Amino acid sequence: MSEKTVPEGHALSGKVGLRRYLSARMLPLVVLLLVLVSASAPLAYAALQARGLREQARATAVQAADAVAREVQERPVLWRYDAGKLLAHLRAYVDNAGAARIEIADRSGVRIPLDTGSITSPAASGPLAWEAAPIVLNEEVVGHAWVAVSLAEARAAALLLLGPFGLLGVGLAGLLYFIPLGAITRAERRIEQSQAALARFNQTLEQQVAERSSQLGEAYEQLRQKEGRLRELSARAVLLQEAERRVIARELHDSAGQALTAIRINLQLMVQLAEPDSKVAKMAARTLTIVDATLEEIRRAVSMLGPAILDDVGLVAAIERLCDDFEREDLEISRELEVPDGGLSAALESVCYRVTQEALTNAARHAGANELRVVLRVEPAHIVLEVRDNGRGFVPGERGEGSGGRGLVGMRERVELLGGNLRIDTAPGAGTAIHVELPRRALSDDGDDSAVVVA
């Protein structure tokens, strides 16, 4: 129960505070209860006894006053000087009525000394309670008879009662003090156990959370690696597709294109050598037309399949030619083009070329611009491509694209496949800028993932 049993700064100091708080609040109540229970019964007993004794004294005073009155009536003058009879009479009251002292006072309250002084019982001791009764003579109050009773016995009895009632008070106060404190102590112990269980549970929970977090971290890391791998694979797919398309385009151009060109020359010769307006000449001319149409188809297919021009003249010259194609009298295209010394991978070249092509096409189709600027710049970690026009601009959609076409979406897909980032800066009336950043580290053509292609 002692507060000293709980160490200072204990984790459950809240509980100690509650117990201390309660015991501090209850202590005055307990002391009050102790005083009330111990003292009230003895005090009440003493008061009752004193009242009884006072009544007794009053009755004795009345009798004594009557006796004095009678004596004074019988001997109006002499009684003061020969009070022996009166004294004997009054002494009988002291002995028989249990009075401690009797005094006679005149009407002004001055004590009348009888011959031997006051009438006192030999047992008169301790505190006295006085009561008076008037001495009436011819309906006139001539003095008072004062009777005192001793309160010593009542006090002793009350003191005797104080013992058992004091014990009772101590018992009740103890119960009042210790029962709630005991209950609080038990409750605190239970709380302490619950808190310990909670702490254990928390610890387990934290461990589980830590385990789950680390599992999640691992899963995330795996996912990130897989995503990186997927991006690499996508880039490789783009690369392979580009290479494949260029091979097909070259094959088309070199084999079918060359053969058709040879056929065309032969047909032209046939037309010249055959009789004019002969059937052969007409058939050769018709075949020549078909060959021309087929050659045109092949040229279109070759240009669709792959920018073979990249293989032929390289990225910078290819972009220069694109710009030349788009330039008109009322559309000036300024350029600032550089590539790293070792060149770029085929995939990076393709993406740069296609993005420039689409951006220039859009500018020519939608912008109504008269100035265009194409920048290809090399930064330590990136290749930066920017196509900016001073045209009418537009309100970009959710991912910055305009609505309807596939051009901008396709551009972004190509860039993101190589791990790059495309940003469109535009607003109505403020022109449009397509800003692309491509990581310089990309797949090499021979498929070595770790190779740094540009340096």
Ligand X SMILES: Nc1ncnc2c1ncn2[C@@H]1O[C@H](COP(=O)(O)OP(=O)(O)OP(=O)(O)O)[C@@H](O)[C@H]1O
What is the binding site for ligand X (CB under 6 A)? 362-363, 365-367, 389, 391-394, 401-402, 404-408, 432
**Taking Cα atoms as reference points, which of 95, 143, 156 lies closest to residue 120?**
95
Residue 391 as a binder of Mg ion (CB under 5 A): the answer is no
Q: Least Å distance between CB 385 and ligand X?
A: 15
Please tell me the total number of residues recorded for the chain in this structure. 455
| Interacting partner of 392 out of ligand X, Mg ion, none (Cβ under 5 to 8 A depending on kind) | ligand X
User: 328 or 365: whose CB is closer to Mg ion?
Assistant: 365
User: 235 or 387: whose CB is closer to ligand X?
Assistant: 387
| Interacting partner of 321 out of ligand X, Mg ion, none (Cβ under 5 to 8 A depending on kind) | none
User: 306 or 407: whose CB is closer to Mg ion?
Assistant: 407
Burial class (CB in 10 A: 0-12, 13-18, 19+), 389: buried
Q: Least Å distance between CB 304 and ligand X?
A: 14
CA distance 146 to 101: 8
User: 60 or 426: whose CB is closer to ligand X?
Assistant: 426
**Taking Cα atoms as reference points, which of 181, 184, 203, 204 lies closest to residue 192?**
184
Q: Least Å distance between CB 316 and Mg ion?
A: 23
User: 224 or 365: whose CB is closer to ligand X?
Assistant: 365
Q: Least Å distance between CB 350 and ligand X?
A: 17
User: 42 or 407: whose CB is closer to ligand X?
Assistant: 407
**Taking Cα atoms as reference points, which of 145, 120, 148, 123 lies closest to residue 56?**
148
| Interacting partner of 402 out of Mg ion, ligand X, none (Cβ under 5 to 8 A depending on kind) | ligand X
User: 180 or 402: whose CB is closer to ligand X?
Assistant: 402
Q: Which stretch binds Mg ion (CB under 5 A): 43-51, 116-124, 130-138, 404-412?
A: 404-412
| Interacting partner of 75 out of ligand X, Mg ion, none (Cβ under 5 to 8 A depending on kind) | none
Q: Least Å distance between CB 373 and Mg ion?
A: 18
Q: Tell me, rounded to whole angstroms, the distance of Cα 102 from its chain centroid.
A: 88
User: 67 or 322: whose CB is closer to ligand X?
Assistant: 322
User: 150 or 362: whose CB is closer to Mg ion?
Assistant: 362
Residue 362 as a binder of Mg ion (CB under 5 A): the answer is yes
Strands 332-337 and 119-120: unpaired
Q: Least Å distance between CB 358 and ligand X?
A: 6
Q: Least Å distance between CB 300 and ligand X?
A: 16
Output the CA torsion sign for 340, 344, 348, 352.
Answer: positive
| Interacting partner of 155 out of Mg ion, ligand X, none (Cβ under 5 to 8 A depending on kind) | none
**Which residues have a Cβ under 8 Å from the Cβ of 443 and sit 6 or more positions away?**
232, 235, 236, 239, 345, 347, 449, 451, 453
Q: Least Å distance between CB 207 and ligand X?
A: 53
**Taking Cα atoms as reference points, which of 335, 315, 314 lies closest to residue 324?**
335
CA distance 66 to 102: 13
Q: Least Å distance between CB 327 and Mg ion?
A: 19
Q: Which of 143, 169, 393, 407 binds Mg ion (CB under 5 A)?
A: 407
Q: Which stretch binds Mg ion (CB under 5 A): 31-39, 114-122, 343-351, 400-408?
A: 400-408
Closest residue to ligand X, Cβ-based? 405
DSSP character for 238? H
Query: Please, what is the Cα angle at 190 between 184 and 191, to 5 degrees?
Result: 85
Partner residues linked to 334 by β-bridges: 373
Residue pair 318/416 in contact by the 8 Å Cβ criterion: no
Torsion of CA 242, 247, 252, 253, to 10 degrees: 90
| Interacting partner of 52 out of Mg ion, ligand X, none (Cβ under 5 to 8 A depending on kind) | none
Largest CA-CA distance found in the chain, in angstroms, rounded: 205
Encoding tokens for residue 99?
């009075």
CA distance 270 to 273: 5
Q: Least Å distance between CB 439 and ligand X?
A: 24
CA distance 172 to 160: 19
**Which residues have a Cβ under 8 Å from the Cβ of 68 and sit 6 or more positions away?**
86, 90, 104, 135, 143, 145
Partner residues linked to 7 by β-bridges: none
| Interacting partner of 363 out of ligand X, Mg ion, none (Cβ under 5 to 8 A depending on kind) | ligand X
Q: Which stretch binds Mg ion (CB under 5 A): 119-127, 242-250, 331-339, 406-414?
A: 406-414
CA distance 94 to 86: 13
Residue pair 241/306 in contact by the 8 Å Cβ criterion: no
Residue 426 as a binder of Mg ion (CB under 5 A): the answer is no
Binding site for Mg ion (CB under 5 A): 362, 405, 407
